[in-house]
Amino acid sequence: MHSTLFNVNKSLPIERNKPGYLPAENIPSEYRDLLIPAAGLYFRQDAECDILSQHLVLDPYSVWLHDILAKDNILLRTHTPLPVFILQFMFEDSLPLPRAGFTLEERECSCFYLHPGPLHRIPMSSDKKIFSFHINIQPMAMANLVRQYPALQCLMTGVHPNVTSRINTRPYHINAVSDMLIRKIMTCRYTGNNAKVFLRRCVTDIMLNFASQHTDSRQPFLFSSMVHAATLNNIFSFLADHPHKTHSLPELAYMYDLPLDEFHHGFRQHFAMPVPEYMHMLKMMMIWHLVQTNSFPIKDVVVVTGYKSQEDMLADLENYYGTLPE
C-alpha cells in the first residue's frame, strides 16, 4: 500500500544501547528553543525530514522526546535493541500503524510492551509534523518500580515477554495533569542533580496518573462529570494559578457551587487524581523551584505556603522528591 508513495526509509530508534549525543551547537538555530539543558541530543536533517530526539536518563526511566518534520513522504522504521515498557504520548498530529491495525492519534496516549527488534513501518506524509513523548522502562526496573509504587502493577498485567503488545486495549485522552507535567519537563531549565531529581518526580507522577486512568477506565463516565466539565477545568486552572494555597474540598465545592460528591468524583474522572494529591503536587513543584533557585528567603516561602515551620516544609519537600535541592 505504501511501497511507492512512502519508499524513503528513516530509522527511528525507540531505545538505544549506548548514547552517542551531539553537542548543542550542532543543532540548527531554529530548534534551539526546544532543547532541554539536561537532555542528550540526536539530530538528523536531510532533504526528506528533520528528526530531533532528546534523551533524559532518569534512572529507572529513559525518557525520549521526538520532534519529527517530514519534508517528503517518508517511512519511519521503529526498532528497539532492548525489551521495554513504553508510555507514549502523541502531540501535534497523528501517525498510522498499518500493520498493528490502529493509529497513534493526536492527544492520545498508550502503554506498550516492546520486544526487541524491528517494530513498525509508519508512513508519514510530506509536511506532517509530530511530537512524540516516550517514557521507557526496562522490565527489571519496572518490577522494582511496582514494589515502590504498587499502583503501577496494572501496567504489567497480561504482558508476554516475547510479544510486542499494547497494554491498554484502547488509547486514552491525554488529560490536563499529564499535559502539564510533560510541559514542565519540556521547559525545565534546571541542570545537574537538581534537574534529574525534579524531572524524575515529574515522570513518576505521569506514570502514576496514567496507571490511575488505566485502572479507572472500566468505570462509566458519569453524566454529572460531563455536565460539570467546564467548572472542573476552571477549578483545575485556579489551583494551578494559586499553588501556594491549600483549600478544603468543601470550600472549593462551595466556591464553585458544586455538590461535594460530584466535585470529588468528577475531578478524578477528568484528571485521574484526587484534588488533595493535585494540590500537594503543585505546592511541591512551586517550593522546589523557589528553594533551588533561591528566589526568596526560605522563611518567606514558609509563610506564603502556610507551613508552621521551615523544618515541616523541608521535610515535606524531601519526602516528595527523595532529597532536597542542592
29 lies in the same domain as 106: yes
Task: Check the CA dihedral 290-292-293-296 and report its sign.
Answer: positive
Domain count of the chain? 2
Same domain (yes/no): 257, 154: no
Domain boundary among 118, 139, 173: 173
Residue 131 main-chain phi, psi, to 5 deg: -125, 125
Query: According to the model, what pLDDT value does residue 4 have?
Result: 55
- Cα separation, 124 vs 118, whole angstroms: 17
- Long-range contacts of the stretch 189-195 (C-beta < 8 A, 24+): 189/37, 190/37, 190/38, 190/292, 191/37, 191/38, 192/326, 193/326, 194/292, 194/325, 194/326, 195/37, 195/38
Given a cut of 60, whether residue 54 has pLDDT beyond it is yes
- Residue 1 predicted with pLDDT over 80: no
- The mean pLDDT value for 254-268 works out to 96
Residue-number span of the structural domain to which 67 is assigned? 9-173
User: Domain holding 64: CATH number?
Assistant: 2.60.120.10
What radius of gyration, in Å, describes the C-alpha atoms of the chain? 21
Q: What is the rounded average pLDDT of the residues 54-73?
A: 97
Same domain assignment for residues 244 and 144: no
pLDDT at 224: 86
166-191: average pLDDT: 97
> 133 and 26, same structural domain?
yes
The mean of the pLDDT values for the chain is 95
pLDDT digit string (tens) for 74-86? 999 999 999 999 9
State pTM to two decimals: 0.96
Is 70 exceeded by the pLDDT of residue 145?
yes
Is residue 281 situated within a structural domain? Answer: yes
Quickly state the pLDDT bin for 5 (edges 50, 70, 90). low
> Is 274 inside a domain boundary?
yes
- Domain check: are 165 and 231 in the same one? no
CATH number of the domain bearing residue 300: 1.10.10.60
Residue 186 falls within a domain, yes or no? no
The pLDDT tens digits of the residues spanning 95-104 come to 999 988 899 9
- 80 plus 157 within the same structural domain: yes
Any domain includes 73: yes
Domain match, 71 and 160 both: yes
Q: Is 326 inside any structural domain? A: no
Residue 6 clears pLDDT 60, i.e. is over it: yes
